[in-house]
Amino acid sequence: MYSPSNERYSVIPYRRCGASGLKLPVISLGFWHNFGSVDRYENCREIARAAFDHGITHFDLANNYGPVPGSAEQTMGRLLKDDFGVWRDELVISTKAGYHMWEGPYGDFGSRKYLMASCDQSLKRMGLDYVDIFYHHRPDPETPLEESMLALDAIVRSGKALYVGISNYPAPEAARAIAMLRDMKTPFIIHQMRCNMLDRNHERQGLFDLLEREKVGGIAFSPLAQGILTDRYLNGIPNDSRVARGGYLKAAQLTDEVLDKARRLNEFAQKHGRSLAQLALLWVLKRPGMTSALIGASRTSQLLEAVEGIGKGDLETEAWNEVEKMIS
Ligand code: NDP
């Protein structure tokens, strides 16, 4: 029987998610890649156990994670049965709906019909009565925003989620969503966005200022730019990497310009006693209002590298100024 480390709450810090009562670990673990039915269950299990053993209490999913879509939630269900069921109250499990999940007009985007049905399906796949956070995964340009937000509100009031969040909403849409959710007194606490040293779009467009002003937590996905901000691709494309295995990251994204930047950041990180991945995570966690960096991992050692980096503490302001020059 799995027995988690007794030291698990003294490894990494927890940050309050916006103005809510919920705290999240500064590193969270995502199930987008590496936890599907095509992946080896024992590896998933080892990564998930290592995460929890090091205080990573937050596992992030979505209806369509796999491959095949839905299978990452099934893996989570199996993990709960095998190892984590008794620890449910120490875990924050999130899921989402908003991208294509099933055929026909009711399996995509943001209708009440889709969001409510998808939430029920996710709970079934994971064998859960409720998720901790249910997200609308992306804005829907056709469905009235009010309908999607009312669906989030209904999901929380029916007890199927404790909190709700939005993801991939640009600042203007996020501002409208926040106002509606506030009006309804929905326990809305979090926005999930792409943010890393190579992608600062949301930062430039004022999303972080908005979240800080509104006291909404931020959680950054792909903080390592899917592996570009690690040593993974500095000397070619390894056979077992996300790019080589046909994941979401494509070889075309590994341009000379991007790799040059990664190499320079890597040298800088090493000069400061960090790996590139560790530097990238520290940077993300310094964004205003950021609660957690949501990483992926194909093996336990990657997760441990992230955790170890947090333990090394922050860099001096001068060093961050240099980083700023390198990435702007
Ligand atoms: P990351 O940027 O952390 O990339 C993770 C990948 O980078 C790993 O799978 C691994 O790839 C590589 N890697 C990680 N650590 C190291 C290391 N120390 N050394 C070398 N390589 C390393 O995040 P993801 O893109 O995986 O996204 C994380 C989570 O964010 C997802 O699982 C999901 O929960 C969420 N997400 C949400 C989205 C949304 O729309 N809301 C969109 C995308 C993600 P490799 O396989 O090559 O080893």
Q: Which of 135, 230, 284 to mutate to test the pocket of ligand 1 (most atoms within 8 A of CB)?
A: 230
CA-241 nearest atom, ligand 1: 47
Q: Tens digits of per-residue pLDDT, 145-157?
A: 999 999 999 999 9
Quick one: pLDDT at residue 116? 98
Q: Classify 8-327 by CATH class.
A: alpha beta
Q: Where does residue 95 fall: left (phi above 0), alpha (psi -120 to 50 degrees), or beta otherwise?
A: beta
Tokens encoding 121: 């399906």
Q: Which residues line ligand 1 (CB under 6 A)?
A: 30-34, 60, 137, 167-168, 192, 221-227, 230-232, 241-242, 277, 294-298, 302, 305
CA-275 nearest atom, ligand 1: 18
Q: Tens digits of per-residue pLDDT, 263-282?
A: 999 999 999 999 999 999 99
Q: Please, which pLDDT band fits residue 202 given cuts at 50, 70 and 90?
A: confident
For the residues 198-226, what does the mean pLDDT come to? 95
Domain positions in the chain = 8-327
pLDDT above 90 covers a percentage of the chain that reads 98
For the residues 200-211, what does the mean pLDDT come to? 92
CA-34 nearest atom, ligand 1: 9
Quick one: pLDDT at residue 204? 84
**Separation between Cα atoms, residue 82 and residue 34, nearest integer Å:** 18
- Residues in contact with 124: Cβ distance below 8 Å, sequence separation at least 6, in sequence order: none
Q: Please report, for residues 52, 61, 145, 213, the alpha-carbon distance to residue 11 in angstroms, rounded to integers and kept in the order given.
A: 10, 23, 40, 30
CA-249 nearest atom, ligand 1: 25
The alpha carbon of 224 and the centre of ligand 1 are apart by a number of angstroms equal to: 6
Q: Please, which pLDDT band fits residue 211 given cuts at 50, 70 and 90?
A: very high
pTM, to two decimals: 0.98
Closest by alpha carbon to 168, among 147, 197, 187, 148?
Answer: 148
- Answer yes or no: is pLDDT of 203 > 90: no
The alpha carbon of 272 and the centre of ligand 1 are apart by a number of angstroms equal to: 23
For the residues 62-74, what does the mean pLDDT come to? 98
Tokens encoding 201: 């779009």
CB burial of 175-189 (b: ≥16 within 10 Å; e: otherwise) equals: bebbebbeebebbbb
Q: Which residue, judged by its Cα, is nearest atom 32 of ligand 1?
A: 30
**Separation between Cα atoms, residue 167 and residue 133, nearest integer Å:** 12
**Separation between Cα atoms, residue 75 and residue 31, nearest integer Å:** 9
Tokens encoding 45: 């299990």
SS3 of 287-323: CCCEEEEEECCCCHHHHHHHHHHHHCCCCCHHHHHHH
